[in-house]
Homo-oligomer: A and B are copies of this chain.
Amino acid sequence: MREAYHDQLDSIFDDLGGICRRVQVAVGLATQALMTGDSALAERVISEDIEIDRARERVEESGFSLLSLQQPVAGDLRTIVAALRMVSELERMGDLSVHVAKVARLRVPDIAVPDDVRPTIEQMATVAEDMVSRVCDVIISRDVEAAIALGKDDEEMDGLRRRSFSELLSDDWSHGVEAAVDIALLGRYYERIADHAVSIANRVIFVVTGHNPAALAEQ
């Protein structure tokens, strides 16, 4: 009985890992749609988000079933509740990818990102996608060291966000208000994707060690 129970708990984490990979693909494709003005790709990200939502529902059902049928003890209980929270965050990261895709779609046949801020936005997208990729590994491996390392990347994202603001607020900015607003919102979306990756990594630390990292309390 206990055996089957732990198999089921492991299977929830496998499912979370699978959803995370879907999110990683969504972030990557949304960025590609954004950088190339590819409306078909943007549509794909938008329409495939429903699959992330459905996968979330399945994880929620499993989590509730474990909670109600197995009456887990303290440690397992916290693990299941953490899994339920992680899946909400993963779904939200999928939604944020959809927001990026929608900015891309809105500007087709143009490209929302002007050439001179392209390096900054590309780097934000790369950092965000890399953080998502690493948090997928953390979910599967429950590697606390790797989870702690993720928190440090968040500083890089903060720096990039500041750089994008100084670019679009500089006197040299020649792309008008619309592009500036797009860049500000895109920066916010990528930053939130990164925030969620850090938050999920912190939840894994909590599941493994039983302690909340200070970073989680600060968020």
Contact = CB atoms under 8 A, between A and B. Distances in A.
Nearest to A165: B181
A77 B84 CA distance: 13
A144 interface: no
A184 B189 CA distance: 13
Contacts of A173: 177
Contacts of A57: 217
Contacts of A165: 181
Contacts of A64: 74, 77-78, 81
- The number of chain A residues touching the other chain, given as a range, is 20 to 34
A169 B178 contact: yes
A168 interface: yes
A73 interface: yes
Interface in A46-92: 53, 57, 64, 67-68, 71, 73-74, 77-78, 81, 84-85, 88
A161 to B, nearest CB: 11
Contact of A188 (B53, B68, B180, B185): B185
Contacts of A81: 64, 67, 81, 84
A217 B60 CA distance: 12
Nearest to A218: B53
Interface string A81-106: 10011001000000100000000000
Interface in A138-194: 165, 168-169, 173, 176-178, 180-181, 184-185, 188
Contacts of A68: 73-74, 77
A215 to B, nearest CB: 13
A88 B89 CA distance: 11
Contacts of A177: 168-169, 173, 176-177, 180
14 contacts: A64-B77, A68-B74, A71-B71, A81-B81, A81-B84, A84-B85, A85-B88, A95-B219, A168-B177, A168-B181, A169-B181, A177-B180, A180-B180, A184-B185
Given A64-B74, A67-B81, 8 more contacts: A81-B81, A81-B84, A95-B219, A169-B178, A173-B177, A184-B184, A185-B185, A185-B188
